Chains A and B, each alone.
Chain A
Amino acid sequence: MKAENYIKLEFPARAVNEGFARAAVAAFVSQLDPTLTELGDLKTAVSEAVTNAVVHAYPDSLGVIQLRARILPGGELELVIKDKGVGIGDVERARTPLYTTGGEERSGMGFTIMEGFTDKLRVRSAPGRGTTVTMRRRLTGRG
């Protein structure tokens, strides 16, 4: 499938870049004329995935996060958030609501929110190799 338009970004896994990632995705999807609800959902979903890479992927180093967004034919948006960190041993368990390895500073709702705010969520991960989160959401837009 040929993408109609895309962006590719790379940044260090610092908390300050979470807001940057949300703003970048919001600016990119504005060409699809999304509703405010759609915009909020996409910002939330990307924030969850990027925050996971910042919080969980690199416990002992400052790693890199890749963010790709592309518009597919028909106005569907695809978001890919990729890290080369510690990975997830049991993805199915990690996706369970309230499951967290992050203690009381986390709620264990990140994947649940990503799933609820997009049409499709795929998590590919291998321990020691990293995690790739792919989300798709069809936008109806305001038009």
Chain B
Amino acid sequence: MQTYPFYSSGCLTVRFVGELDHAAAAGAMRAVTAAAEEFLPRRCVLDLSGLSFMDSSGVAVILRAKRMLSATGAELMVSSPPEQARRVLELAGLSELLIDTERKEVNSR
């Protein structure tokens, strides 16, 4: 799995690409931690649009990242999961972390 951090005006976006499972979780967590320490964001978005797979190990990464960021008062959101990842997020009760990107697109039209 690859991670692509991007920082702009207070918001850190980390894009995940590939499969976020147990084998990839530690690397993903290290990447988010390193980027958060470098940029000290007020807000962090995990962009899941490039994930071809995610399971409960990914859920744990999201929850750990949320806890880590809240220690510095930053909030964490999750965006654009493909269907498989979205179903896992819903079952794990993390839907409330989702940014409703679809509705935003509709509104901006």
Contacts and interface: CB of A to CB of B under 8 A. Distances in A.
Contact of B22 (A15, A43, A44): A15
A87 interface: no
Contact of A44 (B25, B55, B60, B64): B55
Contacts of A112: 91-92
Nearest to B19: A19
A43 B59 CA distance: 16
A112 B91 CA distance: 8
Contacts of A116: 91
Interface residues of A, number: 26
Interface in B42-95: 53, 55-57, 59-60, 63-64, 67, 83-84, 87-88, 91-92
Contact of B57 (A40, A41, A51): A51
Interface of A: 15-16, 18-19, 22, 36-37, 40-41, 43-44, 47-48, 51, 54-55, 104-107, 109-110, 112-113, 116-117
16 contacts: A16-B23, A22-B53, A40-B87, A41-B84, A43-B53, A44-B84, A48-B56, A104-B60, A106-B60, A107-B60, A112-B91, A112-B92, A113-B55, A113-B56, A113-B91, A117-B91
